Structure 1
Amino acid sequence: MNTIRYRLFKQVIEKEKEFVKIKSILKYEQPSKYLVLDTNYSSDSSLIPVLTANKAFVIGYTEEAFGKYDKGPCIIFDDFTMDMKFVNFSFKVKSSAIKILTSRENVNLKFVFEYLSFLNLSSKEHKRHYISEIEPMEIQLPNYCQQKYMADFLSKLEDKIKIEQEIFLLLTKRKQYFLAHLFI
C-alpha cells in the first residue's frame, strides 16, 4: 500500500505546479464537545466507539449518545504525535489534543488524508503541531476529479488488502487445525 501511495503522490508532485496551503483546504474543530465523560469503556462494539489518533485508535465503547461526532467523514489528528486516522462513522474522543479535520468545498478529504500519510508526518517534540506547522504547509493539489480518482483507487486497494488479510488468517487457522489433527 505504501509503495503504491508513494508512486501516486510522486506523480502528483511532478505534475502539479500549483501549491495550496493546508489551511485553505481543511477546516479544523476542537473536540471538546465530543469528549467522553465516563472512562470506564465497554468492549461492546454495538455501542459508540471512543477514539484516539494514536496506534490504539478505538480504545473502547461508550453508551454516551450525547455529544457524539456524527457529521460525516473526518480526519482525527493527534496534535502532539501527528498520528492521524480517516474516520467515516460516529464516535466520541478521549483527548482534547485531537483536531477534527474536514475538507472545504471541492476538496476530497480522503485524498488529503492519503497525501498527508504520504508525507509521513512525525515529531520528536511533545508540542501542538497542527496550527503552527501543518496548517501553513503547502501541498500540490490536482483537480477534484483526479483527487476523487486517487482516493477511490486507494480505498479499493485498502479494502482488497483487508480481504486478503482475512483470507490469510482463515487459511492459517485451517492449517493449524489440520496439523493438530494430522497424527491422531
Structure 2
Amino acid sequence: QKKIIEGLKTLKIQSRNKLFTQIIKGGYERFTVEEILNYEQPTKYIVSSTDYSSDNSLIPVLTANKAFLLGYTNEDWGIYDKGKCIVLDDFTMDLKYVDFPFKIKSSAIKLLTSKKNIDLKFVFEYFSFLNMSSNEHKRHYISEIQPMFLNVPSEKIQKNISNFLSKLDEKINLENELLTQYENQKKYLLQNLFV
C-alpha cells in the first residue's frame, strides 16, 4: 500500500512537471502574480490562544509549514470562511491549498485568492512546480513573488490541469485512508493474536 501511495505521488509530480513545462514553453500570455492573485494579511484570523484541542469537530488552526494543522480551537470568531485560498508562509515560502474554514497561528502568513478568470488550484500547482523556498529570514511575497511572471493559458486549460491534478490528489488521499485502515486492522489482529 505504501508503494502504491509513493507511486501515485511520483506520478503526480511527473505529470505536474510535464504540464507546466509545456505551459512555460507554450507561448501563453504572461501576467505578474499581482495581476492574477489578491492577498490578505491574516490579522483578523489569528487564534488568540495556543492551547489547541485534538477535537476535530472544532475549527482547525493552520500554519503553512510542514506541520500545517496545529490543532483545533473553540474560538468562534475571526474564522476564515471565504472559500478556497492558498496559505503562504511569507518567510519560508511553504504553501498549502485550503478549501475549508480555519484560523491561523501566525501573522507571517499571506492568504491568496484568485482574481477573475484564474483557477486558484492551477496557480497553487504552478507555485508547487516552481518549488519556491528560502533560507533567508525575510518576507518574500511583496518583493519577490508578486512581481514574478507566470504564463497563463485560457481558463478552460487552467481548469483541465487543475481537475486532473485534483483527481490524483483524491486518489492519493483515498489510498492513504486505506493504508490507515490496514494499519488499524493489523494492530487489532496483533492485539488479539494471543488472547
TM range (shorter): over 0.9
Aligned with residue 3 of structure 1, among 5, 10, 14 = 14
TM-score by length of 1: 0.93
1:39 equivalenced with 2:33 (yes/no): no
Q: 2:59·2:72 contact (CA, 8 Å) conserved in 1? A: yes
CA distance in 2, matches of 1:70, 1:13: 33
- Residue of structure 2 equivalent to 1:144: 155
SS in 2 for 1:37: coil
CA distance in 1, matches of 2:34, 2:94: 18
How far the C-alpha of 1:166 sits from its partner, in A, is 2.4
CA distance in 2, matches of 1:77, 1:112: 12
Relative to structure 1, the CA distance from residue 42 to residue 104 in structure 2 (aligned partners, 3 Å threshold; closer, same or farther) is same
Amino acid at match of 1:166: E
1:78 equivalenced with 2:89 (yes/no): yes
- Residue of structure 2 equivalent to 1:61: 72
Relative to structure 1, the CA distance from residue 13 to residue 175 in structure 2 (aligned partners, 3 Å threshold; closer, same or farther) is same
Q: Size of the alignment, in residue pairs?
A: 184
* The 10-residue stretch of structure 1 (161-170 or 142-151) with the greater mean CA deviation from structure 2: 161-170
Relative to structure 1, the CA distance from residue 148 to residue 182 in structure 2 (aligned partners, 3 Å threshold; closer, same or farther) is same
* The 10-residue stretch of structure 1 (16-25 or 131-140) with the greater mean CA deviation from structure 2: 16-25
For each residue in 1:136-169, what CA deviation from the matched residue of structure 2 results, as whole angstroms up to 9, or x when unmatched?
Answer: 0001001000101110111111001111222234
Q: 1:16·1:141 contact (CA, 8 Å) conserved in 2? A: no
CA distance in 2, matches of 1:37, 1:182: 47
CA distance in 1, matches of 2:143, 2:176: 38
1:160 equivalenced with 2:171 (yes/no): yes
Question: Residues 121-140 of structure 1: matches in 2 within 5 Å?
Answer: 121-140=132-151
Paired-residue identity, %: 58
Q: Give unmatched runs, 5+ long, in structure 2.
A: 1-11
TM-score by length of 2: 0.88
CA distance in 2, matches of 1:78, 1:110: 17
Q: 2:28·2:153 contact (CA, 8 Å) conserved in 1? A: no
Q: 2:90·2:140 contact (CA, 8 Å) conserved in 1? A: yes
Relative to structure 1, the CA distance from residue 178 to residue 68 in structure 2 (aligned partners, 3 Å threshold; closer, same or farther) is closer
Q: Give unmatched runs, 5+ long, in structure 1.
A: none
